[in-house]
Amino acid sequence: MDAPSDRPDARHRRARFAVPPPVTAIAGSADRLRLVDPTGCAVAWLGYGEALVVLGVFVQEADGRWREVLRDALVDVGASPQGWTLVERDPTMARLRCDGGDEAFEVIAAMAEGALTIERDGTLLLEAGPA
């Protein structure tokens, strides 16, 4: 059986996802994560440590160029975090734990359908992708 596809482009045949150069971490977000869309059409960098920051989100245009859609955005989690740690990650998503003093909780950041979403307990905190 031939593998079906509703995206006839040849991205999946690339030896490696061609993503733009990494962005620089900013104060309070010393540890960086890179998440890619499973199709390779978008990439995001997150910084975490004292705060959770979206360092940059890029989406790929039809001509192959990368367009920045978000930079250096602090993620408001509705609490006063004292620190963030990585729980787990794959190339497309990450689960991060926030220690907020009396409370601790997790957020999930994921790339899908060309956009970055960050959720806490099913509540969308941030979404960034092609307009």
Partner 1 sequence: MPERTGPTRVKTPVPVARVGELAPGEMRLVEAKGHSIGLFNIGGEIIAVLNVCPHELAPVCRGRLSGTTLPSLPGEYVWGREGEILSCPWHGWEFDLRTGRALADPRVRVRRYEVVVDGDTIAVLV
CA atoms lying within 13 Å on the CB side of residue 29: 21
Interacting stretch for partner 1, rule CB under 8 A, among 21-29, 51-59, 71-79, 119-127?
Answer: 119-127
Dist CA 52 CA 84 (whole Å): 7
Considering only residues 64 to 83 of the shown chain, the ones binding partner 1 according to CB under 8 A are: none
What are the helix (H) ranges across 1-131?
A: none
Dist CA 46 CA 31 (whole Å): 8
Dist CA 41 CA 57 (whole Å): 11
Dist CA 95 CA 31 (whole Å): 14
Phi then psi dihedrals of residue 124, to 5 deg:
-75, 120
In the set 70, 92, 99, 100, which binds partner 1 (CB under 8 A)?
A: 92
Considering only residues 36 to 65 of the shown chain, the ones binding partner 1 according to CB under 8 A are: 36, 38-39, 41
Interacting stretch for partner 1, rule CB under 8 A, among 20-28, 64-72, 75-83, 84-92?
Answer: 84-92
> Is 16 an interacting residue with respect to partner 1 (CB under 8 A)?
yes
> Is 15 an interacting residue with respect to partner 1 (CB under 8 A)?
yes
Closest distance between partner 1 and the C-beta of residue 11, in Å? 7
Amino acid found at 103: E
Amino acid found at 75: V
CB closer to partner 1 out of 71 and 89: 89
The residues that touch partner 1, with contacts defined as CB under 8 A, are: 1, 3-7, 9, 11-13, 15-17, 19, 36, 38-39, 41, 86-93, 95, 108-113, 117, 119, 122, 124
